[in-house]
Amino acid sequence: MSPAVVHQDVSDTYDIVIVGAGPVGLMLSTCLSRWGYRIKHIDNRPEPTATGRADGIQPRSLDLLRNMGLKSDIMAHKPARVYEVAFWDSESSKGIGRTGTWASCPNFIDARYPFTTLLHQGHIERVFINDLEKNGTSIQRPWTITGFQTRNPETSEYPVQVELEHVNGTEKQTVQAKYLFGGEGARSFIRQQLNIGFHHKDPIAHVWGVMDGVVKTDFPDIKMKCTIRSQHGSIMVIPREDNMVRLYIQIASSTDADWNPRKSATEAEVQASAKKILYPYNIEWERVEWYSVYPIGQGISERYTLDERVFLGGDACHTHSPKAGQGMNTAFLDALNLAWKIHAVESGFANRNILKTYESERKAVAESLLDFDNRYAKLFSQRPPAASEVQAASETIPDGDMDGDNDFIKTFKESCEFTSGYGVAYQANTLNWSPSHPAQSHVVQPSGTTLKSGRLLVNADVTRVVDANVVHLEQEVPLNGSFRIFLFAGDLVKNRVALRDFADNLTSAKSFYTAYTRPDITQVSHHEKHNPHSHFFTLCTIFAAKRHRIEIARDVPSVLARYRDHIYADDRWDRRVLDSVAPAHAKMGFNEEKGGVVVVRPDGYVGLVTSLVEGSGTVDALNAYFSAFCTKKFGNTAQL
């Protein structure tokens, strides 16, 4: 044993120590537990969130929860659903009046669930905690972190040492881990220890009172999300499960003459203020479940990690104004992004340097969210939108050309994309192809495709061939750490050679696919649906044909046919492409005869799009794409 290797006690070693069991910590823990990692997960509160805090699940987050099989557990709580937002303004002394309403996720966004799901954060946390327990991870409470240190990351298997302590100081524990994750919220101890700066972004600071309860009111939009401005102040209304409603009531703003960021207000003061603002409507509280003053404004951390061993995520990295409803959703997507990358590295699939893309991808998203929030607030403070603008913004199905839109409409459309969660676009890097990516080939990013690297796969209905079930294609591969390769196979007959060539090259000794064959491949059950050959890939084949015309044994090369539950007929009708006979192909912008190939990252974002050609071109391009970040090199790269 070389002297540089640190001695470790196996019983105290973990793949990861996760500090904080809020949304970010729970999502990370849930993914990694499902994939078999050994986790030490602590939180310094004795119980999960009982009341209050975040509560809005964006459409994109609901897709994600569904992909994890957790959506029905969320929906079992009968959450409120926000489809539209109403704007109210003060109309002279007569009190407030409605100035307009619009869809929170308008038609131009192609969402499966075009609404925000409102449910108390505690219920959401418990859905994750139940899942964790099924996978053998439990959260150690109330414990805190008191110190940590990374030593010899090049040579040590468990380079991170973490000091933990019961909050009452009676017990201490030192553990060794491969990673440490700080999901401890805005006042992150780990961030402070790392000396990472945190920058406040919002030029206007606010103090908000947040009150959850049951009210009796004649205000007609109490079950809608509302933004109310009156000369007595501002309120935001958020409907909730079980007849509850959340009101955000502005207590102070840095634009006030007597601005004081520590200004507070009692429950009764805030209720009195709400009554004034809502005039001419009445409001009485039957029950207040939770009341808190919430002064946290917008801000962002300088770094998300210094060494790709100790990571931060969620509120530890970025905080949002409560009105933006971004906190929990951004936390989920941080964790998702990190989880699969850690898995890819630790399972020997990807190079360690993909971990650098966690910060570059997620920090850019947080920056643009915060920037956008400011622009949006500014625009709205100038004037309320005209009805015609709202109409224009809501109805259009975008044709890629938004030039005709004015600033207001553009900003509104962007706001819808952000608040629905579909606005996230990861920039070019080794995972997201761009012209500067090492994979250079004329088959990449074929003209016509609507798919973009770094963006989510477009939704589409298809018919599964083996059982004729109508399914949501983008949901067919569960979140299990695998890359999803979608072969839009086009015409059953005309593309036969291209399909065979794809299969032949895929199974060649030098392919990315062959390189990561499961070591236990001979023992895999014939019931295995997603990973019969490799833990890292699932192959889906979609023909532009009616289901009954597809005969798997005749039409599908055996490597693809083995994924028999992932062979589909593109024969479902879609309102967005009324004239197409192969709507899924059409939505992706693929020719119905020629098809195309999409490589989707385990988190659902497109990595690479190629055409499907005869010869080795398509697999060559995939080999080059995976060579850029995998632990092995594939194909004959000179050939490209």
Ligand X SMILES: Cc1cc2nc3c(=O)[nH]c(=O)nc-3n(C[C@H](O)[C@H](O)[C@H](O)COP(=O)(O)OP(=O)(O)OC[C@H]3O[C@@H](n4cnc5c(N)ncnc54)[C@H](O)[C@@H]3O)c2cc1C
By DSSP bridging, strand 233-239 and strand 225-230 are antiparallel
Q: Under rule CB under 6 A, which residues in 469-528 are in contact with ligand X?
A: none
**Could you give the maximum distance between any two Cα atoms of the chain, in Å?**
82
- 526's contact among a copy of itself, ligand X, none, with CB below 5 to 8 A by partner kind, is a copy of itself
Q: What's the min distance (Å) between Cβ of 526 and a copy of itself? A: 6
Q: What's the min distance (Å) between Cβ of 115 and a copy of itself? A: 7
CA distances in angstroms from 85 to 166, 222, 228, 237, 462, listed in the order given = 45, 11, 11, 10, 32
Q: Measured at the alpha carbon of residue 491, what is the angle toward residues 486 and 495, in degrees to the nearest 5?
A: 80
Q: Under rule CB under 6 A, which residues in 132-151 are in contact with ligand X?
A: 144-145
**C-alpha closest to that of 569 among 542, 538, 540:** 542
Q: Measured at the alpha carbon of residue 119, what is the angle toward residues 115 and 124, in degrees to the nearest 5?
A: 115
- 19's contact among ligand X, a copy of itself, none, with CB below 5 to 8 A by partner kind, is ligand X
Only one of the segments 43-51, 108-116, 609-617, 627-635 lies at the binding site for ligand X (rule: CB under 6 A); that segment is 43-51
When asked if residue 20 is in the footprint of ligand X (CB under 6 A), the reply is yes
Q: What's the min distance (Å) between Cβ of 551 and a copy of itself? A: 7
Cα separation, 585 vs 490, in Å, equals 8
Phi, psi for 619 (deg, rounded to 5): -70, -35
**C-alpha closest to that of 105 among 116, 94, 89:** 116
- 224's contact among ligand X, a copy of itself, none, with CB below 5 to 8 A by partner kind, is a copy of itself
Cα separation, 445 vs 435, in Å, equals 9
Helices and strands (DSSP H and E) totals, the chain: 16, 27
Q: Measured at the alpha carbon of residue 341, what is the angle toward residues 338 and 343, in degrees to the nearest 5?
A: 110
Nearer to ligand X, 139 or 487 (CB): 139
**C-alpha closest to that of 314 among 339, 337, 296, 332:** 332
Nearer to ligand X, 42 or 132 (CB): 42
Q: What's the min distance (Å) between Cβ of 18 and a copy of itself? A: 28
When asked if residue 44 is in the footprint of ligand X (CB under 6 A), the reply is yes
Nearer to a copy of itself, 186 or 214 (CB): 214
**C-alpha closest to that of 466 among 342, 372, 551:** 551
- 243's contact among ligand X, a copy of itself, none, with CB below 5 to 8 A by partner kind, is a copy of itself
293: left (phi over 0), alpha (psi -120 to 50) or beta: beta
When asked if residue 19 is in the footprint of ligand X (CB under 6 A), the reply is yes
- 260's contact among ligand X, a copy of itself, none, with CB below 5 to 8 A by partner kind, is none
Give the up-direction half-sphere exposure of residue 580: CA atoms within 13 A in the CB hemisphere. 24
Nearer to a copy of itself, 183 or 239 (CB): 239
**Cβ atoms 246, 240 nearer than 8 A:** yes
Q: Using CB under 6 A, which of 21, 244, 439, 586 touches ligand X? A: 21
Q: Using CB under 6 A, which of 328, 393, 608, 624 touches ligand X? A: 328
Q: What's the min distance (Å) between Cβ of 350 and ligand X? A: 25
Q: Under rule CB under 6 A, which residues in 300-319 are in contact with ligand X?
A: 314-315
Q: CB 467: neighbour CB atoms within 10 A? A: 10
CA distances in angstroms from 265 to 251, 270, 294, listed in the order given = 7, 6, 11
- 528's contact among a copy of itself, ligand X, none, with CB below 5 to 8 A by partner kind, is none
Looking up tokens 């380079």 gives 159
When asked if residue 294 is in the footprint of ligand X (CB under 6 A), the reply is yes
Q: Under rule CB under 6 A, which residues in 94-133 are in contact with ligand X?
A: 121
When asked if residue 297 is in the footprint of ligand X (CB under 6 A), the reply is no
Q: What's the min distance (Å) between Cβ of 66 and a copy of itself? A: 13
- 54's contact among ligand X, a copy of itself, none, with CB below 5 to 8 A by partner kind, is ligand X
- 552's contact among a copy of itself, ligand X, none, with CB below 5 to 8 A by partner kind, is a copy of itself
- 328's contact among ligand X, a copy of itself, none, with CB below 5 to 8 A by partner kind, is ligand X
Q: Could you tell me how far CA 227 lies from the centroid of its own chain?
A: 26
Cα separation, 492 vs 375, in Å, equals 49
Q: Under rule CB under 6 A, which residues in 161-190 are in contact with ligand X?
A: 183-185, 189
Q: What's the min distance (Å) between Cβ of 80 and a copy of itself? A: 7
Q: What's the min distance (Å) between Cβ of 145 and a copy of itself? A: 37
When asked if residue 299 is in the footprint of ligand X (CB under 6 A), the reply is no
**Cβ atoms 500, 333 nearer than 8 A:** no
Nearer to a copy of itself, 83 or 404 (CB): 83
Alpha helices in 158-314 (DSSP H): 189-193, 267-278
By DSSP bridging, strand 283-294 and strand 206-217 are antiparallel
Query: What secondary structure does DSSP assign to 64-78, as a single string?
Result: HHHHTT-HHHHHTT-
Nearer to ligand X, 48 or 617 (CB): 48
Nearer to ligand X, 184 or 474 (CB): 184
Q: Which two tokens stand for residue 202?
A: 């919002």
Count of residues that bind ligand X according to CB under 6 A: 31
Cα separation, 431 vs 444, in Å, equals 14
List all residues 6 or more positions away from 346 whose beta carbon is below 8 Å from its beta carbon.
15, 37, 178
- 595's contact among a copy of itself, ligand X, none, with CB below 5 to 8 A by partner kind, is none
Cα separation, 331 vs 318, in Å, equals 9
- 444's contact among ligand X, a copy of itself, none, with CB below 5 to 8 A by partner kind, is none
Where do contacts with a copy of itself occur on this chain (CB under 8 A)?
72, 75-76, 80-84, 100-101, 115, 214, 216, 218, 220-224, 239, 243, 463, 466-470, 526-527, 547-548, 551-553, 573, 575
Residues near ligand X (CB under 6 A): 19-25, 42-45, 52-54, 121, 144-145, 183-185, 189, 210, 292, 294, 314-315, 322, 325, 327-328, 331
